[in-house]
């Protein structure tokens, strides 16, 4: 399955929420087959999200400066934070958006529709739309 990174990052949060559902979102516990499939998908997404985070942080370091604070004694001390400077914001944003526009092959098997049907999940419209991308409608 191919997906654009920005879409994957959004989907990851939704699928993770469905997988770690609060009790009031289900009529019955999530089926073990569905749980297994969602876990495989989220683990793959987590790996991709971590790679993006590393690349994003590298851009912050490249285009940012370390924040310094002045102590009451007048001494300067690093805050340990790096922020992108105003003059680098535009180029940082362009490079970060380019990262997010990359199409990624997740290399996952879609969830057969038969595993989803009758699970007792109460999904919001957003959760349903996201989850449907990862379901094979032709496979029971």
The domain locations on the chain are: 2-57+86-134
Q: Which residue has the higher pLDDT, 12 or 21?
A: 12
Helices (H), 20-88: 32-63
Rounded average pLDDT over 86-93: 96
pTM comes to 0.80
pLDDT number for residue 22: 56
For the beta carbon of residue 116, count every other beta carbon within 10 angstroms: 21
SS3 state of residue 76? strand
Q: At what angle do helices 125-132 and 5-19 cross, to 10 degrees?
A: 120
Q: Pairing relation of β-strands 135-136 and 111-112?
A: parallel
Residue 65 confidence (pLDDT) = 93
The predicted structure's pLDDT at residue 74: 86
Long-range contacts of 90-93 (CB under 8 A, 24+ apart): 91/63, 92/59, 92/60, 92/62, 92/63, 92/64
Q: For residue 93, what are the CA distances in angstroms to 1, 6, 67, 96? A: 27, 13, 20, 5
The pLDDT value given to residue 120: 66
């Amino acid at each position: 399955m191919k997906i654009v990174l920005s879409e994957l990052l959004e989907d990851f949060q939704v699928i993770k929420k469905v997988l770690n559902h609060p009790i009031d979102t289900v009529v019955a516990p999530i089926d073990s087959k569905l749980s297994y499939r969602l876990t495989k998908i989220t683990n793959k997404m987590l790996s991709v999200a971590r790679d993006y985070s590393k690349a994003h942080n590298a851009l912050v370091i490249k285009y940012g400066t370390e924040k310094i604070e002045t102590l009451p004694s007048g001494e300067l001390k690093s805050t340990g934070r790096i922020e992108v400077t105003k003059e680098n914001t535009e180029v940082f944003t362009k490079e970060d958006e380019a990262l997010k526009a990359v199409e990624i092959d997740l290399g996952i098997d879609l969830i057969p529709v038969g595993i989803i049907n009758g699970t007792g999940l109460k999904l919001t419209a957003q959760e349903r739309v996201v989850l449907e991308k990862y379901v094979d409608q032709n496979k029971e």
